[in-house]
Chains A and B, each alone.
Chain A
């Protein structure tokens, strides 16, 4: 039975360390949790043909993305013994060195969170229609390809 509603995952611009810190603090009242695991995706200043990436601008098909994020959540809860899970992804411009993806899984036990986190991140990369435009210092760009 599915009672969870699709959550809003998108954040305008970079995900701040304050936001991540507050997210962790909010779990202090959930005392059945014994293990958290966090993935932070950071914009890398790749050098391509002598030019350095200075930012990535993210766009998405937001309706499909919201459906896919929800399906990934449901699938992850059915596969792993998790207490809770949070996913946040940036839209718009995120500078090199800033955080663009924040995935946070919590469980009573550590083994679950290690495998659950990897599963969630790989599923997001494969299934969610988000598109990254890598912008160089001279404002030229190319479209990011996930490896």
Chain B
């Protein structure tokens, strides 16, 4: 399964890219994150929420095809 992973704000600086497509087997959000933590160790210490297909989800959620967005703390206004 291909997941379109998007990184926002300072997380995009940690990964060095805004988005990428990665292949995963069926997994939970936390499984996906542990793979991303191996690829980008700097992500480990960062605070962020995960959105799947435009909805904020828990780490236990099973991922499905589409977009996974990593959102750092909001700082609008």
Contacts and interface: CB of A to CB of B under 8 A. Distances in A.
Contact of B9 (A59, A101, A125, A146): A59
B8 A146 contact: no
A131 B77 contact: no
Nearest to A39: B77
Contact of A130 (B51, B54, B69, B75): B75
Contact of A146 (B51, B71, B75): B75
Given A129-B71, A131-B72, A143-B72, A61 B8 contact: yes
Interface in A96-147: 100-101, 121, 124-133, 143-146
B6 interface: yes
A41 B71 CA distance: 22
A129 B77 contact: no
B9 A145 contact: no
Contacts, number: 64
Chain A residues touching B, range:
20 to 34
Contacts of B76: 58, 60, 89, 101, 124-125, 128-132, 146
A67 interface: yes
Given A59-B9, A61-B6, A67-B54, A130 B74 contact: yes
B73 A61 contact: no
Given A63-B54, A132-B75, 6 more contacts: A59-B8, A89-B77, A100-B77, A129-B51, A131-B8, A145-B75
